[in-house]
Structure formats: C-alpha cells, structure tokens
Amino acid sequence: MGDEPCLLRTIVADHWESVERILGRHLPQDVKNGVVSSVEKMLRCGTEANGFAQFRCPDCGAVRIVAFKCKSRFCPDCGKVRAAEAAANACGRLLNVGHRHLTFSVPCELRPLLFENRKLLSVVAKAAAKATIHAVGTRCRAHGPLPGVMATVHTFGRDLTFHVHVHVLCTEGGLRSDGVWQSVHIFPAQQYRRLWQYYLLKGLRKALKGNRSSAWRIGRLYKKHPSGFIVNVMSHYRNGRKAAAYCCRYTGRPPISQRRIVGYDGRLVTISYTDYRDNVDKTLTLTASKFLVRLFAHVWPRYMRDVHYYGLYQPSRRRDHVEDAVKASKYRDQVRPVPAASRRERMLLALNGLELRCLECGSYVILEHIEYAGRRYENKGKGPPRTGRGQLSLSM
C-alpha cells in the first residue's frame, strides 16, 4: 500500500461507526447494503482478516505471510488496478478505430427519481446509446450505418453531488447493411440533444408506468427544455485503446482521488474541484460525516453494471459484428480489438513482482496454506510445488 497512509481510508476508519448508524436515513436500502459490504472489504484490505498465503522456508523454518487485497472498486488502493483491468477488458471489445466521446447529462428534475431507484440507471445508459445510434444512422438514408457504442454511467459531480451523466464512446463510423464501412465525422450537438431527451423520457415513462407523479414530472420536461437535454460532443480518440483508458478510469476507483482531498483535521474534510460552470478551481469543506455520506451515495448496489455495450459492441452479436467490420475495412486485421490478457497472464505478471525467497537465508519458500474468510487450503505435497501445464510455479 505504500509508505504514505491513504487519507481516504483514514477518514473512513475514523468515522465509519458513527456514519453507519445514519446511512438508512440518507441512502436507499440497496445502496446502503453495497456501502456496508464495500467498506468492510476496504478496511480489511491488506490485512490477515481478508485472507492470506503463508510461506515457510524449508531450510531455516522462517515464516512469511502475504495478506490479500480486497479488490473492491471502492478501495483507493485496489481501485487503480481494477480501473486498469477494466480498460484492458474494454480494449478487447472496442474496434481499433477512431472514437468520439460524448457526455449526456440528466436534468436536475429527474435526479431524485434515479437516486431512489438505481435500477433506472440502466434505462439512462440505454437511452444515451439509442440517441447515439439513431443520430449516426441518419448519416446515410439508404443504408443506415450501425456504430459501436460503449456507455459508462457516472453518478457523481466534481463536488460529489448526485449528478447523473453518461460518458459514451462511439465509433467514428458504422457498418452499413450493404457491408460497407461508412466514416462519420459530424456529430451535431442539437440533434443529439433532442434525441437524448426523447429516448430518456420515453424510457423512464415505460419503466415507471403506473406512477402518476413521475409521469407528471416527466411530462413537464418537454415544455421546460424545448431544445432538449444537455449533450457535450467532446474529445476525439484515434484508437480504441486510448478511448477505453479515458472512460474506464473511474469504473474501478472511488469517485474522488487522493490528491483532491487537500485537508483533514479529524473533524473537517476539505476537497478541491474545478467548477464546470465557470471553470474556476474551488474548495469545499464538509464535516467528515457529510463528506462520507456524499461519497457513499455513489456506491453501486451489488450486481449492477455501470458499463454497457450497444450496436456493433452488443455482447450477443459482438464477434459477428467485429468480423463484418474487419471485412469492410481496407485495413483488415489492424482494426481488430486488442485482446485482453487472460487471468493466468495477469497472475504471472503479478507474481513476477513478488519476492518468493526467504528473507532470512535466501532459499526458496514453500506455500504452506491459503486462508480465505473461513476457508483454508493446505499444501499437502512435500517440498517446492512442481511446475506443470496450467500450474503456476511459486519457486521463481
């Protein structure tokens, strides 16, 4: 975990007992359950309570214990690794072509609905994808091109308020029904604004059918926002690898980085942020309890996904779509997705960074047993484990 203590972990450890008692008054039940699970994992991260592997030197008998990380997306230590893995997995899906980055913002009138019912966030992601696919499809009337779309839902603003928006990566082009790849470089913001409003309100009405108060609130938004909802047509990325690295950086990490927590005195927490309204750097000071409640509001309930794939990246037909896109491209195999490393390859890479010799005499150590939260696995063999096919060697 490094020599410097993690400030976010320190704040959570200092105030978790007092904040846990009031979570039910501020967060929906499924979010609260996710927070409790995530915090418990984070506080156990890197300790023997989270599980460990015990090694013993056969020569001098010295024992070495390696504690396991929690691998929680809320953990500031494990988050960077998870974000890197998410980017690698996305690279294995995204075509190696130019992508356009768009941001779809949900108006403030709808945020209370999404705060109380997090299942509606999948409706938001789908609406942003539909708007994007519709707009790209209008670039050719005879054969509407189908783009690849990756939608990532974020619930947090820069000051940790509940500000739902969707980051969309869209291929700068699409596969037409006649098997031709058509490049698309024009992304008119006004068209996207109206389509985003239409598909979002239509999807929410369908999901909340029978809820009269929600239907009334949704109906008012057409008149209140006659030009549509806010859509920012942002950066251009030359290939899928760079696009995935940007949009996956917050999928495995807490919504605030360590460097943005600029002050903590045991009671008050000060964070820095850039206000997108005037592009001015500001600071915000909150009590530790209010800060944690704001932070915990962005924990995802268990089994919910924040990354969704549509169009050419639709999971059920992705391989077929990729092959069709490769055939339609003059660059052929150059546009194929970059394959992600397998779990075995990632484990070997991690083990290469471990010192698996005895710290006392330098001999190779032997794995005695592994413990995972009540489960224990003994190494019944004598001597260093043998290296065979599909087996990792601990004697490196």
CA distances from 66 to 56, 166, 359, 382 (A): 11, 39, 13, 21
How crowded is residue 19: how many other Cβ atoms within 10 Å of its Cβ? 22
Q: Is the pLDDT of residue 1 over 50?
A: no
**Mean pLDDT, the chain, integer:** 84
The torsion defined by the Cα of 258, 13, 159 and 151, in degrees rounded to 10, comes to 80
Domain 79-255+300-340, architecture per CATH: 3-Layer(aba) Sandwich (3.40)
Mean pLDDT of 113-134: 96
**Position 345 confidence tier, pLDDT thresholds 50, 70, 90:** low
- Residue 352 has what pLDDT? 54
Confidence category of residue 134, pLDDT binned at 50, 70, 90: very high
- CB-CB contact of 225 with 217 (8 Å): no
Stated pTM of the model: 0.84
Task: Show Cβ contacts of residue 180 under 8 Å, excluding neighbours closer than 6 positions.
Answer: 143, 328
Domain range annotation of the chain? 7-73+344-378, 79-255+300-340
For residue 22, give the nearest of 41, 38, 35 by alpha carbon.
35
Tell whether the model's pLDDT for residue 382 goes beyond 60: no
For residue 346 the two structure tokens come to 């990632």
What pLDDT shows up at residue 285?
Answer: 95
The larger pLDDT score, comparing residue 374 to residue 201, is at: 201
pLDDT value at residue 2: 43
